[in-house]
Structure 1
């Protein structure tokens, strides 16, 4: 990247994908607007791994002794997410404003599909795409940590209650992750 001044003395950014054939040089504001929507170079389409909207937090997984409905005898992987309260950063909707953290649990069966789902959720988490700061659909609270990628919060009850059985869960998870530009979403 370089910092020569462009139009109206705005910083100019030259992306690493820039070549003589395809000049990938932009005013900083133009590039920021483009990356907010798709994380790709507006000229050549090269994808860049940008930090997602997720606040700082932790993700851990452990084996559970019970089964997810529809997956008998395999046990469960329990995924635990923790986000502390904090102040919003530039990638959040209201930089400088406080936000509420959260503690959430999600479940996948301890079988081949569940382990694939876990790897995909780990990739999404590391890329900052699993949660975001926004308005809670459940409580109506603004500036709180909410899901970005839908997960199963129950081991039973079916899809309408965010539980199992749900034979399309892995396919939907892959689609949501692909839409969020999670690297490897369609390879798992």
Structure 2
């Protein structure tokens, strides 16, 4: 279950109806009048803001502003705690992913295109990588992984990379990545 959605559910449950009315008023410039009239809970408001990409786990400024506007310091503390935990979690995931990238760059050779296709990179992107780094195989592999990470964002995980490696029959590299991720997790 997504921890950010759990946070939003918790915040919604703690909002009084008067506070919801105030939040709806503050969001008049973002949300249409009909939608605002139909909102019965904080979850309704948060759902619309999520749909509009005005709110997500990486961008909580609007949520922070709304909660401070209705003077809910207790809810701001919940948001602070979530952000502190998310930052630690993200840093650990990035360490694991970078360790995995180093291993893949070292051990995946000319078959990197097969891995790129398994990671759902288009042939046009693969060709662009080859043109950008001619005759530099490790740089081609690293760029492929960087493009994949940027395209998939949170979905680009060590587990996804390992699954793709195994699907390409690169089991030894997958084993190295899993072992390296465990080591990175320990640091």
- Could you state the TM-score of these two structures normalised by the residue count of structure 1? 0.32
Rg larger in structure: 2
Point out the structure with the larger helix share: 2
Point out the structure with the larger strand share: 1
Which of structures 1 and 2 has the larger relative contact order (alpha carbons within 8 angstroms, sep 6+)? Answer: 2
- Could you state the TM-score of these two structures normalised by the residue count of structure 2? 0.32
